[in-house]
Structure 1
């Protein structure tokens, strides 16, 4: 299956990160990639390993001179107290942010680091094999690490869920706003020109989000050849490389079909692009990126929210979660 520019970029970043990783981490990444773990997840895990190894170097818990020469024997000998000290460091470390601001890591990032390390240690202690047919080591200190997270009550979860779900009436109002009223909010001639060019595409994207349950990553990877207009079906690739077929609801299919009909005429060179949703860059069609789709969702929901009760970030969560 063809890869989007975003996916190619992620794979390139993975290869770049692997240059500074010890051989057993490279083995781990290759193994999990074959098993279907997403490239996005693997890249995030590599960032966590780099940070962890750098901390071990600074703390003098290894004799290695850099992360690439990091022996797995260091991991085998780590104490539970060492790992707990690292997690405490993660929670307290100050992270530079925009406008020279400083912030702390959220609980989700700490949990990501723990999950990344647990996955690596499980691999090293259960799935590896040395010349004698034995795992690289057997003492898994990460199995002793339990991350306590704050639990929400059922009513709190329900409140959060209901705050981001649009009912049928609101969906109709939202799409009608884009179709008939959004251009009134534009003050630039160039912005109006681009909106008129992309209107059918954007309505198709938003309708699919709302009428099919397709998620952002699946939207980006959608292929023209996988669309069956007659049956109103689309073959998509789910998380973990799982193939699935989605039926497009009638309301969403109306906008979807209109985009298909004008795609090649409106976006020069789009016939040569296998991915369904495209944009013009330098006068030629190229696949629409994840960031571009996120931006257009934020743009429209933000404008719609100006006269509605919904907060832009809430509506965006419903589409791109």
Structure 2
């Protein structure tokens, strides 16, 4: 995707690569920049034939009002696919979540900060100094702790459902496919161990989807029941993992080479095969799979909402279970990799009171 970007965006990406930003984070940034530059072209703010041709002088002269209009656009844009819009009846209108809007604005803040403070032209000066995005403040949602907790509780896999969900993926889902689609049944059998391990790891560690996508084979320590991950801001960390999730991971790794024809150079744990090439499973692919499987699981219930859950809800599910098993907020903060205890405090209204003891308690409870 980078060749579509202006030279200064490519330079920014090289800078972040050198700073060891994860590939999944950088891919996410490129997707956010595509939205922004396409909007500049479609609105006539930048009168150029394509994104690559847009000079940084356009960014230098953007008004605060224009940037506010852009934010309103991404907040209010209907993000349904053409298929969703044209099917009968059409799917309900979908807007971006506040988190998705914040991700976009933060990605642009990072780009503008780089261009106005870290670049250097032939005269030793930054490309430009006027950073319009420094004037854009993120909007904070106002809600009580109990309201936050209620929202989280309504969007998690409950502790007593987690084992049922994993068992459904291991044994029941393929029976549904076998009865309905031979092609989908065959495809699922090929990737089943991978997908079960992937979801088990999300639910058994509380890591972010980007951290899962970036996980390499050398990051796993089965002996200590820990994995090494790269957090936001390129921070290295080590987290505990439920033994049950590690067992599913072992089952996948036993068949990984056979199913995906991997080589020693394929270092990422979760991979796919596309046009004969092995590649890391992308964040977007993981999000799609998690949403699909949770929707199928809950669709067995006549009161299903018809919606799947996101990988971030897997993270909420882990945190919810941790607190309900007596885990304290400090160790949960460390497990989730939050930089502030305030971020973790949103889980305290779920219940309340130390690392491996809590992991073992959760393990015991799920296997009753």
Aligned to 1:249: 242
Aligned to 1:151: 142
Q: Is the 8 A contact 1:278 1:285 kept in 2?
A: no
1:43 and 2:17 matched: no
Separation (CA, whole Å) in 2 of partners of 1:315 and 1:267 = 27
Deviation at residue 174 of structure 1 after TM alignment: 1.6
Match of 2:159 among 140, 158, 168: 168
Structural mapping, 1:100-249, within 5 Å: 101=85, 106=96, 108=98, 111-112=102-103, 114-148=105-139, 150-186=141-177, 187=179, 188-249=181-242
**Residues 208-237 of structure 1: per-residue CA shift (max 9 Å, x gap):** 111122333333333334333333333334
Aligned to 2:341: none
Separation (CA, whole Å) in 1 of partners of 2:49 and 2:310 = 45
Separation (CA, whole Å) in 2 of partners of 1:305 and 1:314 = 8
| Compared CA separation, residues 136 and 196, structure 1 to 2 (3 A) | closer
Name the TM-score, length of structure 2 as normaliser: 0.63
Structural mapping, 1:65-80, within 5 Å: 72-73=56-57, 75-80=59-64
Larger Rg, first or second structure (1 or 2): 1
| Compared CA separation, residues 244 and 184, structure 1 to 2 (3 A) | same
Aligned to 1:289: 281
Match of 2:296 among 290, 298, 303: 303
**Residues 10-49 of structure 1: per-residue CA shift (max 9 Å, x gap):** xxx02x222xx2x544443433443344312430343245
| Compared CA separation, residues 111 and 242, structure 1 to 2 (3 A) | closer
Separation (CA, whole Å) in 2 of partners of 1:245 and 1:198 = 27
Aligned to 2:314: 319
Q: Is the 8 A contact 1:267 1:278 kept in 2?
A: no
Match of 2:268 among 271, 275, 285: 275
Unpaired runs of at least 5, structure 1: 1-12
What secondary structure is seen at the aligned counterpart in 2 of 1:175? Answer: helix
Separation (CA, whole Å) in 2 of partners of 1:304 and 1:135 = 53
Separation (CA, whole Å) in 2 of partners of 1:299 and 1:67 = 33
Supply the RMSD in Å over aligned alpha carbons: 4.0
Unpaired runs of at least 5, structure 2: 87-92, 317-368
Deviation at residue 112 of structure 1 after TM alignment: 4.8
Deviation at residue 171 of structure 1 after TM alignment: 0.9
Aligned to 2:14: 30
Separation (CA, whole Å) in 1 of partners of 2:184 and 2:84 = 32
What secondary structure is seen at the aligned counterpart in 1 of 2:251? Answer: helix
What secondary structure is seen at the aligned counterpart in 1 of 2:249? Answer: helix
Q: Is the 8 A contact 2:272 2:279 kept in 1?
A: yes
Q: Is the 8 A contact 1:294 1:320 kept in 2?
A: no
Separation (CA, whole Å) in 2 of partners of 1:68 and 1:202 = 37
Q: Is the 8 A contact 1:55 1:86 kept in 2?
A: no
| Compared CA separation, residues 49 and 234, structure 1 to 2 (3 A) | same
